[in-house]
A = this chain, B = another copy of it.
Amino acid sequence: MLKLDFHPAGRHFLQIPGPSPVPDRILRAMSYPTIDHRGPEFGALGLKVLEGIKTIFKTTQPVVIYPASGTGAWEAALCNTLSPGDAVLMYETGHFATLWKKMAENLWLKPEFLGLPGIEGWRRGVQAEMIEARLKGDTAHAIKAVCVVHNETSTGVTSDIAAVRRAIDAARHPALLIVDTISGLASADYRHDEWGVDVTVSGSQKGLMLPPGISFNAVSKKALEASRTAKLPRAFWGWSEIIEMNKQGYWPYTPNTNLLYGLSESLDMILEEGLENVFARHQRLAAACRVAVTAWGLEIQCADPAVYSPVLTGVIMPEGVDADAVRKLIYEHFDMSLGTGLGKVKGRMFRIGHLGECNDLTLMATLSGCEMGLQLAGVKLAGSGVAAAMDYLVKHVAKPKLKVAA
């Protein structure tokens, strides 16, 4: 029989940019007994999480919760709002933007892929002016939606969504704005309403600290209207019936009860800490991580400091070093998982996740594991990233939190 308690002595460090480590509190909540999804207790749970999740998206509009992982919510965003043959303007920020574009093709849409040439586009955020220019050229309004990734998980770049909104407005173009913040939500500041996003796509296994299996569509009034005439076939993903039943806290089909328990706990944890405090914690840890990479003399995948991700940091290896060999070595000797380079940057870089259930000492453990692994791999380092990060953390020491409350 396969043993699932895999790890050797001591705790595994799961420092990929998601799924992120699930806190014990959430694992415990997920072990509450499954209840009747048509009973009165379920309604109370449903109403709570449906209301709470709005706070995280910074929206007062409906958020649809799917009993499915994030890729499904990508599909939901497209098939609820668009019709076969519709042109959509997508932007190549990295591997996940590329996968989303491929999905659009599979769903009978006509994606047009903007982006900077070559690898350069994978090191910078969405160039809003390119979107503006393209939309201005689309005088016939053939383009029905602009799709961008907020936090590109494959590179560690967090694009400026407000700027994209301004670009669309400047072009006076009616296209919907559809944003993927699967890995950004609850780690990086995100404002569905303020930024005028029409559909925001997200998932559970990143900043929300849940296992994978739940995903989201936050839906604007304009998107809802579009869904009434959109012609792509849809059933499981269809918004209207879900939103209708959600009013009482229920779902038209069986929801993912135990993961909703986890979501309820996650919301409690995040709102107890304070959403802005959560963002500040991520920013501080990410800054310390980048200070370390710089001290090592290595390059950060994100080349534009204005769009550094608070969620993860991509670390580029020197010429001739296989990033995956370094990862494997770290995995085997220090029991830590790092993210692989994906697509165009395969083997060139690895990714350090510092999201969700992360704090100063977990980050220091992570950076120590990287530094020791790089040394074992024979990578020449300019200096100690660990020392630099400690220096940063001490200089920007976090305020102590009250831990005991009656």
A interface, CB within 8 angstroms of B = 1-14, 16, 18-25, 27-41, 43-45, 48, 66-72, 74-75, 79, 84, 103, 106-108, 203, 205, 211-213, 232-236, 238, 253-259, 261, 264-265, 268-269, 273, 278, 281, 331-337, 340, 357-362, 364-366, 368-369, 371-372, 375-376, 384, 386-387, 390, 393-394, 397-398, 400-401, 403-406
Residues of B contacting A37 in the complex (Cβ-Cβ under 8 angstroms): 19, 212
Question: Is the Cβ of B40 less than 8 Å from the Cβ of A32?
Answer: no
- Can you offer 7 A-B residue contacts whose CB atoms are under 8 A? A2-B406, A11-B23, A11-B357, A14-B36, A22-B33, A40-B404, A333-B400
Beyond the given A211-B258, A364-B364, A364-B369, please list 11 additional residue pairs across the A-B interface where CB-CB is below 8 A: A5-B32, A10-B361, A12-B33, A19-B35, A69-B253, A71-B254, A211-B257, A333-B398, A360-B368, A376-B394, A376-B397
* Choice from B7, B67, B253, B366 contacting A403 with Cβ under 8 Å: B7
Question: Is the Cβ of B386 less than 8 Å from the Cβ of A11?
Answer: no
Question: Is the Cβ of A10 less than 8 Å from the Cβ of B364?
Answer: no
Residues of B contacting A281 in the complex (Cβ-Cβ under 8 angstroms): 9
Given A37-B19, A264-B4, residue A336 in contact with residue B361 (CB < 8 A): yes
Question: Is the Cβ of B48 less than 8 Å from the Cβ of A2?
Answer: yes
CA distance A118 to B372 in the complex (A): 42
Residues of B contacting A394 in the complex (Cβ-Cβ under 8 angstroms): 372, 375-376
Question: Is the Cβ of B27 less than 8 Å from the Cβ of A12?
Answer: no
Question: Is the Cβ of B2 less than 8 Å from the Cβ of A22?
Answer: no
Question: Is the Cβ of B107 less than 8 Å from the Cβ of A233?
Answer: yes
Min CB distance A291 to B, Å, is 14
* Choice from B41, B72, B205, B386 contacting A6 with Cβ under 8 Å: B41
CA distance A37 to B20 in the complex (A): 11
Min CB distance A362 to B, Å, is 6
CA distance A256 to B203 in the complex (A): 12
Question: Is the Cβ of B8 less than 8 Å from the Cβ of A401?
Answer: yes
Residues of B contacting A340 in the complex (Cβ-Cβ under 8 angstroms): 38
Question: Is the Cβ of A257 less than 8 Å from the Cβ of B212?
Answer: yes
Min CB distance A67 to B, Å, is 4
Given A29-B4, A33-B14, A403-B6, residue A360 in contact with residue B387 (CB < 8 A): no
Min CB distance A279 to B, Å, is 12
* Interface core residue of A69, A257, A273, A384 (most chain B CB under 10 Å): A69
Question: Is the Cβ of A335 less than 8 Å from the Cβ of B357?
Answer: no
Question: Is the Cβ of B75 less than 8 Å from the Cβ of A235?
Answer: yes
Question: Is the Cβ of B2 less than 8 Å from the Cβ of A45?
Answer: yes
Residues of B contacting A72 in the complex (Cβ-Cβ under 8 angstroms): 67-68, 72, 236
Residues of B contacting A18 in the complex (Cβ-Cβ under 8 angstroms): 254
Min CB distance A235 to B, Å, is 4
* Choice from B14, B48, B79, B268 contacting A35 with Cβ under 8 Å: B14
CA distance A48 to B238 in the complex (A): 33
* Choice from B24, B44, B393 contacting A372 with Cβ under 8 Å: B393
Question: Is the Cβ of A337 less than 8 Å from the Cβ of B36?
Answer: yes
Residues of B contacting A11 in the complex (Cβ-Cβ under 8 angstroms): 21, 23, 357, 359, 362
